Structure 1
Amino acid sequence: MLRIRYEVNGGPEVLFAEQAAVPEPGAGELLVRVEAIGVTLPSVRKVREGSEPIPLGGEVAGTVAALGEGAEGFGLGDRVTGLCFAHAYAEHAVVHTAMASRIPDGASAVEAVALVRSGLVARGAYEAGCVRPGESVLVTAAASAVGTYALQYARAGGAGRVVAAVGSAGKAGFVRGLGADEVVLYEDADRGAPYDVILDGVGGDLLAPAVRTLATRGRLVAFSSGGGTVEAYELLVRGASVIGFQMRALALGEPELYDRWLREQWDLHRSGSLRIAVHGEIPLAEAGRAHELIENRRNLGKVVLVP
């Protein structure tokens, strides 16, 4: 099978295509014949910043081709999507049943990798922020896969003002179409301050200045892999909070809530209330091009690899 690997850390130029043996599913695992792979910012950062090369994990969608011992709840031929923590950039991938879900009839594999994880992260971040009707919400990385859904949840949830923070002015029309009332560039994010809630998908050097734009008793929800440092004094003077959110913790710790949100999300999509934004479908062998899109902040929505 075709698989993407990298040997040294660096940018998209270090990704290579290779032939590899089809993996065997272990206990409680599914072997998925992959039809679509969602490219995530954490994977892009691992290639650029990781201490040493590791298998590229990520979101996959396709058809169950084999079942490991004790893999219950699924059968051969089922169409599923889920997180693969080993080699996701491949024509076949292994997914544990705890991280897998069925793709509804009528939905494509591309739609599944674009909606499931990114939409659930956005829902979780929105819920963690406890947004009240009429409050102002700033969404960073608003044109990203998660950001597109965060905008829609904030708009539908009754936020009084939804502000999208993006890296370039060319994305303004796109994010306005998803519910943003205002659009700001990162260097001008304090222009619309203070914000009651910030849903932050960037982290890193942006985290500290974002906290300084919070209103009294404001909440910042950090859900990115970018890290960052917050001064306790900035929280004290505002009576503000920083809340962390991770989807894996919810999926494993509260599976019933995870399943309910998943069902609701597909229902919202079918009704037209939750739009899927896919930047494009890129051949698996050209994974470097997909990473370059995200690294240069040129994507509008989800970037998807297709074998």
Structure 2
Amino acid sequence: MRRVRYESTGGPLFLEETPVPEPGPGELLVRCEAVGVTLPVVRKVTEAVEPIPLGGELAGEVVAVGEGVTRFHAGERVTGLCFGHGYADFALLHEAMASPIPDTASAVDAVALVRSGLVALGALEAARPEPGETALITAAASGVGRLAVQLARVRGAARVVGAVSDRAKADFVRSLGADEVVAYADEKWGEPVDYALDAVGGELLTPAIGALAPGGRLVAYSSGGGTIRAYDLLVGAKSVIGFQMARIARGKPELYERWRLELWRLFGEGALKPAVHGEFALADAARAHAVIESRSNRGKVILRP
């Protein structure tokens, strides 16, 4: 089978031929139909000291199962998070991280909706939104952001502001349901909001805190790091909440499952529409990474083995 790999930090991505892996205990062997490209994986390629397996969210057909697997069998379609090599024709997915794909959805729908949607919904839940409150979503045109904009509206936000790196994305973000769109470089991000969901981190934390109304909440779920001054919180009795999807997936599987079903329900009702920026062949994985690095994507970037 084909697999994408690299040999040194920031090094070029290349295809290699390797044997199809055998599923171990609790694992599924999946024929990959769609693989999501995420900012955390792209960052690790450029920053990690040692090369990492290129994993992430994937969807496809189960072709074999390992010892002890009880929830799935060969022939079923699943989606889930792969911690090993996922940029490949076949990948191993742990049973606990897998979930079924409805007959009405495609593999691309699954990759564009489930993992990104779970992060967006989890971050929104962490903000404890009340109907009629106002929301700010950073990286609003990203795979997670474009779902967070829609979910904030579904949960009753009276005004949704999308923050983007480039104003060229404004029309796209408005089409998702945002009332206003601001650029990161803008001096002022409009009227204060009750809560903000931040997927960027770094230097963007300061203006995101500044955009909160007194008593406002910032949910930080970025891998981009950054520093927040305590004084900026004290001045408006503001708060920051950290959110990590892995903690929910591993520690609260019943909540993870409830959120997953909620996403598919909203998708089926037409209230949640995944957006795909583009689909790339495995051989074009470097181009897919370049789209993410340039922050030019409008929606999910997907590899199609």
Structure 2 length-normalised TM: 0.97
Q: Give the Cα separation in 2 of the matches to 1:228 and 1:142.
A: 19
Q: Give the Cα separation in 2 of the matches to 1:211 and 1:54.
A: 33
Corresponding residue for residue 290 of structure 1:
288
Corresponding residue for residue 150 of structure 1:
148
Corresponding residue for residue 217 of structure 2:
219
Corresponding residue for residue 157 of structure 2:
159
Q: Give the Cα separation in 1 of the matches to 2:240 and 2:96.
A: 29
Contact kept, 8 Å, 1:4 with 1:90, in 2: the verdict is yes
Corresponding residue for residue 235 of structure 1:
233
Corresponding residue for residue 7 of structure 2:
7
1:13-47 per-position Cα deviation (integer Å, ceiling 9, x unaligned)? 61111111111212111111111100111011011
Offset at residue 193 of structure 1 (A) = 4.2
Secondary structure, in 3 states, of the residue corresponding to 1:33? strand
Q: Give the Cα separation in 1 of the matches to 2:260 and 2:248.
A: 12
1:59-87 per-position Cα deviation (integer Å, ceiling 9, x unaligned)? 11101111111122111111100101010
Q: Give the Cα separation in 1 of the matches to 2:213 and 2:246.
A: 30
Q: Give the Cα separation in 1 of the matches to 2:226 and 2:147.
A: 23
Q: Give the Cα separation in 2 of the matches to 1:285 and 1:192.
A: 43
Q: Give the Cα separation in 2 of the matches to 1:202 and 1:122.
A: 13
Corresponding residue for residue 53 of structure 1:
51
Residue 170 of structure 1, aligned match among 160, 163, 168 = 168
Distance 1:126 1:189, change over 3 A: farther
- Opposite residue 5 of structure 1, the aligned amino acid is R
- Opposite residue 4 of structure 1, the aligned amino acid is V
Contact kept, 8 Å, 1:165 with 1:189, in 2: the verdict is no
| Structure 1 residue 204 corresponds to structure 2 residue 206 | no
Contact kept, 8 Å, 2:189 with 2:211, in 1: the verdict is no
Q: Give the Cα separation in 1 of the matches to 2:147 and 2:203.
A: 23
> In the TM superposition, what are the counterparts of 1:261-272 in structure 2 within 5 Å?
261-272=259-270
- Opposite residue 128 of structure 2, the aligned amino acid is C
Structure 1 length-normalised TM: 0.96
Offset at residue 249 of structure 1 (A) = 1.1
- Opposite residue 154 of structure 1, the aligned amino acid is A
Residue 65 of structure 1, aligned match among 63, 66, 77 = 63
Contact kept, 8 Å, 1:208 with 1:228, in 2: the verdict is no
Offset at residue 229 of structure 1 (A) = 1.2
1:250-282 per-position Cα deviation (integer Å, ceiling 9, x unaligned)? 122111121111112111111111111011111
Gaps of 5+ in 2: none
**Runs of 4+ residues deviating >3 angstroms:** none
> In the TM superposition, what are the counterparts of 1:28-177 in structure 2 within 5 Å?
28-177=26-175
Q: Give the Cα separation in 1 of the matches to 2:251 and 2:83.
A: 18
Gaps of 5+ in 1: none
